[in-house]
Chains A and B, each alone.
Chain A
Amino acid sequence: MKIAVCIKQVPTREWQPRLNEARTWIREQDASYELNEPDAYALEEALRLREKHGGEVVVCAAGPARVQQVIREALARGADRAIHVEDDSLASADASVTSAALASAMGDERFDLVLTGLQSDDHGHAQVGVMLAERLQMPHSTIIMEVQIEASTGSGQAGRLRVKRELEGGWFQWIGMPLPALLTIQSGINQLRYATLKGIMAAKKKEIRKAPLPGGLTPSQQIVSLALPMRSKQTHMIGGPPSEAARDLVRRLREEARAL
């Protein structure tokens, strides 16, 4: 079974946003980066499927040179090799461009299964996975909480998937589809493993194939401006040392809000 996992490098949760002068993108030099969390779950799921069914796990990323950091991390956690579509413009690319960039480098690999996180913590379009499926001519399902692979029934057949899709409000649904297929993986589908020292050493020797960004890709949307969000409420911020803040809060909850 040949499994691809698409990963993205995103600013860390602790990162404090700062904007470029044109206020159209962030100051990238101020950000520190990490693996997009839902992608970490997708990677873990791929590694577990490989342990169960054999085969190969290939991590695929589209982004600037700095993305190597998370590619190495994925290789250290156990992926076999990597494909990196490298271009500075991919940092702020929309879902249409990112999915086309990934598809251009992944098409010839003929993967049986492609996994992505359900969305990225930076752009948050929640579109790349589904668009990539279409570009690779695969069926897809999204927000997956369990993956079962049903063995092929005859020669020349790729087999089938049965996946548990999360619906809203605590509902779920099983969905069947033929392989090859693409799934977007929900956080919490499994328990993550972390890289071992042995894994980190082994990762240094693993192949990262660089692929160029194909020309002629046009974005379908453009960020006109970025700003701190407007507060939807008038928040009363309570300062001071903990004991004073606690006293003020309890008083306000009793007297103003009448919530206690």
Chain B
Amino acid sequence: MILVVAEQRDGILNRATWETLAAAQALAGDMPVKAVIFGQSVGTAAQEIAPAASDVVVVEHAALGTYTPDGFAIALQQVAISLKPAFVLLPHTYQTRDFAPLAALRMGAALITDVTGINGTGTAATFSRPMFQGKLSADVRPHGNGPVCVSIQIGAFRADAVKRGDAAAITRLDVNIDPSAIRQSPEAPFKEAKQAVDLGQAERIVAVGRGIKSQENIAVAERLASAIGAEIAASRPICDSGWLPMDRQIGSSGQTVAPKLYLALGISGAIQHLVGMKGSRTIVAINKDADAPIFEVADYGIVGDLFEIVPAILSELEKG
């Protein structure tokens, strides 16, 4: 049996959960796919997921109402002991990264993270995951006892590929959580500043990465952006350096966009960036490094010096 750990906030399942269900169905072969939801009051989410699973297990506890890594690790371990899944699949979100390694270690289980592909079904399966910043892809086989835990990269499987049937039965499972075993005390989530710009609405985006080399050089990209009516954006290192404000950041920790045109200048394409933009309709990558992972998602690629190519594009655009 495959157990999918659904992720919900305020009763709403995130898209990564559906993608993880699609991955579970691809892995399943003849195995049933069950879903488990942790929280305090998760009935709506359970009903939403019921047609996509053979069983929905609801684990409600006062200590699970607010997420903590200790609470979720204890809950997952107890559920795994009780249900004995062959695999536990989780979305590779910040929340999973926070508690899954703890749960896996306590269960003596393998945890294969950031998985982009599943080769074969059931216990014969191996799992593909990026390594070396996406420059290589590894095919990985789990070892050891206990359920094999696998976290699924955001966007690697299609949420709309999830097969649905009759709504599954929703069952409750009790867990025992000693409040003193939860060492973290979280405060309410907040947004840093009001986002000045909603890049999600932009039709075109010109984004810069490390290849832009200095803050002064961002003007080069801004000229291109204004010539084609695009918003300017950046990968994380550029915003970390303060060269562009944080609300211009594209990627897992910034905004997710899918514009008509995405022009990536000097962006290597670390996965944290790709998850924020690979849904764009047309992607152009300009980079010095022919092996940069950005070219894997690009529709058009130019290997070369952006400081030569961008001015050439500008003069071409002026010709009309």
Contacts and interface: CB of A to CB of B under 8 A. Distances in A.
Interface of A: 11, 13-17, 19, 26, 95-96, 99, 118, 121-127, 129-131, 133-135, 139-143, 166-178, 186-188, 218-239, 242-243, 245-247, 249-250, 252-253, 257, 259-260
Contacts of A118: 97
Interface in B69-109: 69-70, 93-94, 97-99, 101-102, 104-106, 109
18 contacts: A26-B136, A121-B132, A124-B132, A131-B101, A133-B102, A139-B70, A142-B94, A175-B185, A177-B184, A218-B143, A220-B144, A229-B134, A235-B301, A238-B302, A242-B308, A246-B316, A257-B281, A259-B204
Interface stretch (B34-42, B49-57, B171-179, B288-296): B288-296
Nearest to A186: B253
A257 B184 contact: no
Contacts of B190: 171-173
A99 B228 CA distance: 49
B191 A242 contact: no
Given A220-B143, A236-B299, A139 B94 contact: no
A184 B30 CA distance: 39
A139 B98 CA distance: 11
Nearest to B186: A175
Interface in B151-203: 183-192, 195
Contact of A141 (B69, B271, B317): B69
A121 B133 contact: yes
A250 B313 contact: yes
A242 B189 contact: no
Among B98, B271, B289, the most chain A Cβ lie within 10 Å of the Cβ of B98
Contacts, number: 258
Interface residues of B, number: 92
A133 B106 CA distance: 12
A95 B260 contact: no
Contacts of B141: 221-222, 224
A135 to B, nearest CB: 8
Contact of B136 (A140, A174, A226, A233): A226
Nearest to A189: B240
Given A129-B101, A166-B94, A173-B190, 17 more contacts: A13-B268, A125-B113, A126-B97, A130-B97, A130-B98, A135-B105, A139-B184, A141-B184, A142-B97, A142-B98, A188-B240, A224-B140, A227-B136, A228-B136, A235-B298, A237-B303, A250-B316
A245 B312 contact: yes
A260 B261 contact: yes
A20 to B, nearest CB: 12
A51 B296 CA distance: 44
B226 to A, nearest CB: 14
B313 A246 contact: yes
A237 B94 contact: no
Contacts of B65: none
Contacts of B99: 130
Interface of B: 69-70, 93-94, 97-99, 101-102, 104-106, 109-114, 126, 129-144, 183-192, 195, 204, 210, 228, 236-237, 239-240, 246-247, 252-256, 260-261, 268, 271, 278, 281-285, 289, 291, 293, 295-305, 308-309, 311-313, 315-317
Given A233-B298, A249-B300, A250-B313, A225 B138 contact: yes
B110 A220 contact: yes
Contacts of B110: 96, 220-221
B137 A242 contact: no
Contacts of A234: 299
Contacts of A176: 184-187
Contact of A187 (B237, B295, B309): B237
Contacts of A228: 135-137, 291
Given A131-B101, A221-B140, A229-B296, A124 B94 contact: no
Contacts of A142: 69, 94, 97-98
A168 B140 CA distance: 27
A171 B252 CA distance: 11
Contacts of A169: 253-256
A122 B143 CA distance: 21
B132 A26 contact: yes
A259 B261 contact: yes
Contact of A227 (B109, B137, B315): B137
